[in-house]
Chains A and B, each alone.
Chain A
């Protein structure tokens, strides 16, 4: 079942009088529970695709369908609700809320929704995630008291706390050393397996590419390689 579908998506940015064609007609789909890697050089359109899947941007033309919902024409409020329910974010620079501690940062997305689990359920679920990302001893620490790897673990837990269908990770290991980066990837793979959450990365990291179920390679705003599509086509032929 496709959780993400892009059909002939084009995105043009206007920089003054100049037009930048970030995407020139991209079509692919991502299955639920996949560990997906979107790769390509700088300027190839990776970030634009993540923005479109994350419902924080709209295509100039074409269709973006997230968990069965076409994003085109949705209001800001509807897009925010869709993001909140369906998508979790992991940022390159972690982007934790500095005044909140580990527990509160993870809890934060749950407090934004109208439908909330009971306090007990919330606490148990957050405690589980904290335990799962290995920060049981740090739950009352503020982000400035944590290392880069620990911060990214918090970010992973925060991205998963609303039990989203999709987690978007924008170069999650770019600001980490290789050893820490490796452990973060392993953690995400573990969560992917445990929760059947779809993980979509934009990355240069070859480790991620090697363990990904599905690799989409971009160049100059076009898909030049889609491993799943090719496999499917190969299967058909």
Chain B
């Protein structure tokens, strides 16, 4: 082994051109890999950190459903087929969650998308999170920066308009929205028809850490969002009704309420906030259910966000909730923060996959270049290899010699590449990268990124360099293996 290492090391040093070509390719490749993956890992960690801390918690409990359900609603074609389900046995689930020692806090939410208009003029659209401010702030104490006004008072209604949304809307009306102004919010759904609510702006805010998707989110009282989401206040999904409730509702059906489905799309009157849910209850006029439904059903929620005291309990929490749902026969499920965060967070991970694909392509090109250089090098050394074979070296010896030379070169280049990558990352970390456009903001997972050296990225780079070394030495080794000791005689003459 000593002689192999001696020969390998001296050959690496002696064949300077070969070493320079291969070494440089590998150093640059590894540096790009380390910097790129560290960059992506930092961004992914940042996204994870700020989504868990500010928007999703560690876990999201929803009604059992198929499809890609996020905090922003369904983000696939499933949205056309089904409304976001409400969480069944909400109170029981909350009680169970609060009984778990590793659960820090929970927060219920409802989500809806609405077109915003003022008078006859359509101004734009916003995503609405229906929340209870006290619970929302208990879960996410640092994510909202109030710019003007504030949350609506307990028991009242209102919207805390995102400044980014407000600026888009203001372009249409030509003036600045202030607390006290009213806006019309309209939601249209194939499942629930058209819903319109007039809601007063109680304040303007911005998320401290945001992105293009979160910039579209405004916060609204739960009553109005439930209405816009088609969750008739105080009722439950027909599928979830107990036999007693079904008996209670008697023979009420859509036909008896609306006359015909066409009425859904007929003229719609605008409800003042003061009327509370009169519009919805008026639909039940003349039924016994109306009186009962007028009582607030606090159980109508789409999401229950759960933050744990530590991320290490995540698996346990998922298992405990799954067991609880199974034991109680509750049609609910947990989703992790990534599913909750939706397309934008996924996109960051998708970009990482694209990056790794590009790296893979570069690696293949590198393998070809390195292989070619090694073939030339080996061809030049046919006489030397033939001599070794003639004086008693087995095929395995010369194979090990070539592989060792390549691995030695790869290893040194890899370490230099990692060191160079770490240096670049150190500089980038000091400088900090500002997201100058939406695309970069998505990649960075926020407005600024300070990339840190990621050890998984270093490990991946070393695996890649070993694979590149092994693959690129395969063909030259095959040539070497076929080298006859006669070559020593022939080249000598």
Binding site for B on A (CB under 8 A): 47, 50-51, 54, 56-57, 76-77, 80-81, 83-85, 88-89, 91-95, 97-100, 104, 107-109, 111-113, 158-159, 162, 170-171
B101 at the interface (CB under 8 A from A): no
Q: Which residues of B contact A158 (CB under 8 A)?
A: 391
Q: Which of B387, B389, B394 has the most CB of A within 10 A?
A: B387
If A56-B485, A91-B492, A170-B489 touch, whether A99 touches B387 (CB-CB below 8 Å) is no
- One digit per residue, 1 when the CB lies within 8 angstroms of any chain A CB and 0 when it does not, for chain B 1-44 equals 01100110011001000000000000000000000000000000
> Which residues of chain B from 389 to 403 have a CB within 8 Å of any chain A CB?
389-395, 397
Please pick, from B389, B392, B492, the residue contacting A170 in the complex, using a CB distance under 8 A.
Answer: B492
If A50-B489, A56-B489 touch, whether A80 touches B10 (CB-CB below 8 Å) is no
Which residue of chain A lies nearest to B481 when distances are taken between CB atoms in the complex? A76
Please pick, from A47, A83, A113, the residue contacting B390 in the complex, using a CB distance under 8 A.
Answer: A83
The CA-CA distance from A139 to B147 in the complex, in Å, is 84
Inter-chain contact B493/A92, CB cutoff 8 Å: yes
Question: 9 new A-B pairs (CB below 8 Å) besides A57-B486, A95-B491, A162-B392?
Answer: A47-B489, A56-B486, A76-B395, A80-B395, A91-B488, A93-B492, A93-B493, A95-B383, A112-B393
Q: Return the 9 tightest CB-CB contacts between A and B, nearest first.
A: A84-B392, A99-B10, A91-B492, A56-B485, A95-B387, A93-B492, A112-B392, A92-B492, A111-B3
Inter-chain contact B492/A95, CB cutoff 8 Å: yes
B192 at the interface (CB under 8 A from A): no
Q: Which of A99, A100, A109 has the most CB of B within 10 A?
A: A99
Q: Which residues of A contact B6 (CB under 8 A)?
A: 99-100, 104
Sample (9) of A-B pairs whose CB atoms are under 8 Å apart: A47-B493, A54-B390, A76-B395, A84-B391, A93-B492, A99-B14, A100-B6, A111-B2, A111-B3
The CA-CA distance from A222 to B6 in the complex, in Å, is 45
Give how many B residues have a beta carbon under 8 Å from the other chain's beta carbons.
27
> Which residues of chain B from 373 to 420 have a CB within 8 Å of any chain A CB?
383-384, 387-395, 397
Inter-chain contact A98/B486, CB cutoff 8 Å: no
Inter-chain contact B489/A113, CB cutoff 8 Å: no
Inter-chain contact A97/B397, CB cutoff 8 Å: no
Min CB gap A57→B, angstroms: 6
B484 at the interface (CB under 8 A from A): yes
Inter-chain contact B486/A51, CB cutoff 8 Å: yes
Min CB gap A46→B, angstroms: 11
Q: Which of A85, A97, A100 has the most CB of B within 10 A?
A: A97
Q: Which residues of A contact B391 (CB under 8 A)?
A: 83-84, 88-89, 108-109, 112, 158-159
Min CB gap B400→A, angstroms: 12
If A54-B390, A91-B488 touch, whether A97 touches B493 (CB-CB below 8 Å) is no
The CA-CA distance from A76 to B3 in the complex, in Å, is 22
Binding site for A on B (CB under 8 A): 2-3, 6-7, 10-11, 14, 383-384, 387-395, 397, 484-486, 488-489, 491-493
Which residue of chain B lies nearest to A82 when distances are taken between CB atoms in the complex? B392
If A95-B383, A95-B387, A97-B388 touch, whether A170 touches B393 (CB-CB below 8 Å) is no
Min CB gap B488→A, angstroms: 6
The CA-CA distance from A80 to B389 in the complex, in Å, is 7
Which residue of chain A lies nearest to B391 when distances are taken between CB atoms in the complex? A109
Q: Which residues of A contact B492 (CB under 8 A)?
A: 91-95, 170
Min CB gap A92→B, angstroms: 5
Q: Which of A47, A50, A76, A80 has the most CB of B within 10 A?
A: A80
Inter-chain contact B7/A97, CB cutoff 8 Å: yes
Q: Which residues of B contact A91 (CB under 8 A)?
A: 387, 488-489, 492
Q: Which residues of A contact B493 (CB under 8 A)?
A: 47, 92-93, 170-171
Which residue of chain A lies nearest to B493 when distances are taken between CB atoms in the complex? A92
The CA-CA distance from A83 to B489 in the complex, in Å, is 14
Inter-chain contact A97/B393, CB cutoff 8 Å: no
Q: Which residues of A contact B11 (CB under 8 A)?
A: 99
Min CB gap B153→A, angstroms: 85
The CA-CA distance from A26 to B366 in the complex, in Å, is 53
If A92-B493, A100-B6, A108-B3 touch, whether A80 touches B486 (CB-CB below 8 Å) is no
Min CB gap B381→A, angstroms: 9
The CA-CA distance from A108 to B388 in the complex, in Å, is 9
The CA-CA distance from A127 to B395 in the complex, in Å, is 29
Q: Which residues of B contact A47 (CB under 8 A)?
A: 489, 493
Please pick, from B384, B394, B486, the residue contacting A97 in the complex, using a CB distance under 8 A.
Answer: B384
The CA-CA distance from A209 to B387 in the complex, in Å, is 26
Min CB gap B181→A, angstroms: 83
If A95-B383, A97-B387, A98-B14 touch, whether A77 touches B489 (CB-CB below 8 Å) is no
Min CB gap B398→A, angstroms: 11
Q: Which residues of A contact B383 (CB under 8 A)?
A: 93, 95
Which residue of chain B lies nearest to A175 when distances are taken between CB atoms in the complex? B492
Q: Which residues of A contact B392 (CB under 8 A)?
A: 80-81, 83-85, 109, 112-113, 162
Inter-chain contact A56/B484, CB cutoff 8 Å: yes
The CA-CA distance from A162 to B491 in the complex, in Å, is 24
Inter-chain contact A98/B384, CB cutoff 8 Å: yes
Min CB gap A235→B, angstroms: 35
Inter-chain contact B394/A77, CB cutoff 8 Å: yes
Which residue of chain B lies nearest to A171 when distances are taken between CB atoms in the complex? B493
Q: Which residues of B contact A94 (CB under 8 A)?
A: 492
Q: Which residues of A contact B7 (CB under 8 A)?
A: 97, 99-100
Q: Which residues of A contact B2 (CB under 8 A)?
A: 111
Q: Which residues of B contact A159 (CB under 8 A)?
A: 391
Q: Which residues of B contact A109 (CB under 8 A)?
A: 391-392
Min CB gap A109→B, angstroms: 5
Inter-chain contact B393/A93, CB cutoff 8 Å: no
Q: Which residues of B contact A76 (CB under 8 A)?
A: 395
Which residue of chain A lies nearest to B488 when distances are taken between CB atoms in the complex? A95
If A92-B493, A95-B488, A170-B493 touch, whether A56 touches B388 (CB-CB below 8 Å) is no
Which residue of chain A lies nearest to B10 when distances are taken between CB atoms in the complex? A99
Inter-chain contact A89/B388, CB cutoff 8 Å: no
Q: Which residues of B contact A108 (CB under 8 A)?
A: 3, 388, 391
